[in-house]
Structure 1
Amino acid sequence: MFRAEENPKPSLWGHRIARLSTHFFGHEDLLAKYGDTTEAIKNARKVPLVIHNGVVVSSENETLKLFPQGQIVMRTDNLETSAAFVRRGLGIGRLPEIVGRNLPGVKAIEEQSSPTQRSLWVLTHRDIRDVKRIRRFIDFVNEKAADDPTVPK
């Protein structure tokens, strides 16, 4: 399984394959509508906001602090849903940099980076870590991530 967290449960075993820094992103059309500068977007009234309510942490407090005049248009616990809303220009949201920077037409709001730091892990339950096919898969993912310069270490 793949998990985005900082400290996996002791019952799990695997490898950290990437560091996931987060930023606030918005589609270029949405950002143009609410101002040409980060300060204008930050202070824009009713700028639509996408809130990610994850299992470990929510982006709501941080998002509302940075965009106090904003209006929440979506709350989701699914990264793909958050990214889809941002990609379609329906709101500004906090996304892992590796996701947001690869969405067409989407830009980071550079001065609005997030202090949230997570890691991406490939994990399995400790009691099955020596099953050959599972061990091979985890080793394969770990090696590919280590060799890929686009994966943030």
Structure 2
Amino acid sequence: MPVTAPLAWDDFRLVKAIFDQRGLTQAAERLGINHSTAFRRLGQIEASLRTPLFERHRTGYVPTPAAEEMVRIAARMEEDVLAFTRRIESCGLTPAGELRVTTAASLLTGLLTPILAEFCARCPEVRLDVVVSEQALNLAKRDADVALRATNDPPDTLVGRRLATIAWALYGRADLDRSVPLDAQRWVSPAPRLGAAAAARYVQERTAPERVILRLDTVQGLADAVESGIGIGPLPCVIGDPRPGLVRLSEPEPELAAGLWLLTHPDLRRAARVRAFLDFVGDALTRQRDLIEGGRPDG
């Protein structure tokens, strides 16, 4: 039977949101509409198509083949819209507009924030929206325009430059009792889910499980724990060295090193605000390479 009414782009967006969220309430929240509106619109779409799109189970909404086809079409439409937006934005000649930047808290505090202040003074027409996340956001889907990431394997879908190698070393409080062997000290460890699996293994290989007093899922929290005297632990040198209350207990550990990358989507790299940010921030961070790579602080 023919469809009784033409489908709109918002119909595809709703079906895809329900598919992604596995439920109507979460999909409505994601789209910024209330539950009753989403429920009514879904019913109208199903009535227009004369076919059910989801089976209602206690565990959530299970898509039918018709819904799966709509989701595939919606994903293609979404990507086309994003690609068109990126191409239009790349035509700008002066740095202006909103720029969404994502990075980890450990890179933002102390390292990136002063540089952002200088950039805002240099490019006052650019409005920064900084998303602090330990997880890598999807730049292809415009979760962010630019990412500053610690990684040895940046996605092939992104472009950018490697600015430095982030060095890690073992740290403890300056008043640590050095007569106690390191493996007998109390330790703090990154949680593997932090994305610091190598650092978590480093701790496991150097002390007994019962000596690990605390695990944390933020590097900043790890540094605070070491400085508070909870235990010794591995930290990026760019975080550990500037803290006068901490001392290195090892030289930089090669197996913990990670590249510091400044990345963007290929379609955005020529946009004036993106190009200005990449150039300014990249050059500023490069000038701090010695600190990032574990060069001893002055004095």
TM tier, shorter chain? 0.7 to 0.9
Partners of 2:166 and 2:236 within 8 A in 1: yes
Structure 1 residue 52, shift from structure 2 partner: 4.1
Q: Flag the structure with higher strand content.
A: 1
Which runs of 5 or more structure 1 residues have no equivalent in the other structure? Answer: none
Structure 1 residue 114, shift from structure 2 partner: 5.2
Matched pairs, number:
146
CA distance in 2, matches of 1:22, 1:69: 21
Please name the residue that 2:163 is paired with: 17
Please name the residue that 2:243 is paired with: 103
Deviations 1:84-128 (A, max 9, x none): 111222221111122211122101112684522201111122221
- Specify the SS of the correspondent of 2:277: helix
Deviations 1:33-73 (A, max 9, x none): xx33xxx332326x132334232624222212112375222
% identical equivalent positions: 26
When residues 21 and 70 of structure 1 are mapped into structure 2, their CA distance, relative to the original with a 3 A threshold, is farther
Please name the residue that 1:28 is paired with: 174
> What are the residue-to-residue correspondences of 1:55-70 with 2, within 5 Å?
55=195, 57-68=197-208
> What are the residue-to-residue correspondences of 1:78-97 with 2, within 5 Å?
78-97=218-237
Look up the equivalent residue of 1:71 and give its one-letter code. Answer: R
Structure 1 residue 75, shift from structure 2 partner: 2.0
Aligned CA-pair RMSD:
2.4
- Specify the SS of the correspondent of 1:3: strand
Tell me the TM-score normalized by structure 1.
0.80
- Specify the SS of the correspondent of 1:121: strand
CA distance in 1, matches of 2:151, 2:216: 17
- Specify the SS of the correspondent of 2:169: strand
When residues 48 and 107 of structure 1 are mapped into structure 2, their CA distance, relative to the original with a 3 A threshold, is same
When residues 95 and 52 of structure 1 are mapped into structure 2, their CA distance, relative to the original with a 3 A threshold, is farther
Please name the residue that 2:189 is paired with: 50
Whose radius of gyration is greater, 1 or 2?
Answer: 2
Comparing both chains, which one has the higher relative contact order based on Cα–Cα distances under 8 Å and sequence gaps of 6 or more? 1
Look up the equivalent residue of 1:115 and give its one-letter code. Answer: E
Partners of 2:163 and 2:282 within 8 A in 1: yes
Partners of 1:51 and 1:58 within 8 A in 2: no
- Specify the SS of the correspondent of 1:110: coil
CA distance in 2, matches of 1:118, 1:112: 12
Q: Flag the structure with higher helix content.
A: 2
Deviations 1:10-43 (A, max 9, x none): 12221111211211111123x22xx33xxx3323
Which runs of 5 or more structure 2 residues have no equivalent in the other structure? Answer: 1-146, 294-299
Partners of 2:199 and 2:256 within 8 A in 1: no
